[in-house]
Amino acid sequence: MKTYPLKDNPSLEERPAAVTKRHLRGALTGEYRCPQKGEWYLSGAIPEGYKAPNNLSLAYHILRLVPASPAAQGKIEKACCAELLAVAPALITALSALIETVEATGGLTNVGPDERPSLAPAADDDWLDLADAYLLACKALNRLPKIDANPNPFAIQPKSQKRQEEKP
């Protein structure tokens, strides 16, 4: 795969903070069209990658950013890992706060019919998305979710089952 040097600097959104443009190059995508604002394209007597400042009206070869070498790939991966490690404590704190908030209000409860159960926060049984986020947070932090073990209190129980529960 042939790659080309970049004339413009990639934005922070396009690269990890510790990676410079010398660690990145442009590779052809196979497209030849008018670049849209923010896309990379190939131009010049000595071909180099440029970032379109706006929607261009002339057609160019479109580029994608790739690591300049295996060593650059390693540097990019290390920079990405360093950035993730830098924000990891904040992510853990945020997930823990979400878990603690849901659990402080009763955890999750079953709100669906018996044949198709659904989990929702005990404090707001309409907020099914929050239950999903809570379960994902528990999974990410390897914590057991607090789920009400009781069957759905709104489900209609058969009369025979009610009589058995009432007997001492």
Domain chopping of the chain, boundaries: 3-68, 81-154
Q: pLDDT tens across 62-107, in order?
A: 999 888 777 766 776 777 677 777 888 898 999 999 999 999 998 9
Q: What is the pLDDT of residue 167?
A: 54
At residue 97, what are phi and psi to the nearest 5 degrees?
Answer: -65, -40
Cα of 88 vs its chain's centroid, Å: 14
Tell me: pLDDT of 158 over 80.
no
Nearest 5°: CA angle at 160, between 109 and 114?
30
Residues above pLDDT 90, as percent of the chain: 38
Q: What is the pLDDT of residue 34?
A: 96
CA 157/CA 101 separation, integer angstroms = 31
Residue 105, both tokens = 């209000």
Pick from 56-60, 61-65, 83-87, 144-148: least confident: 83-87
Bridge partners of 73, per DSSP, are: none
Instruction: Please count the other Cβ atoms lying within 10 Å of the Cβ belonging to residue 95.
Output: 19
Tell me: pLDDT of 49 over 80.
yes
- Which position has the token pair 């010398």? 22
pLDDT, averaged across the chain: 82
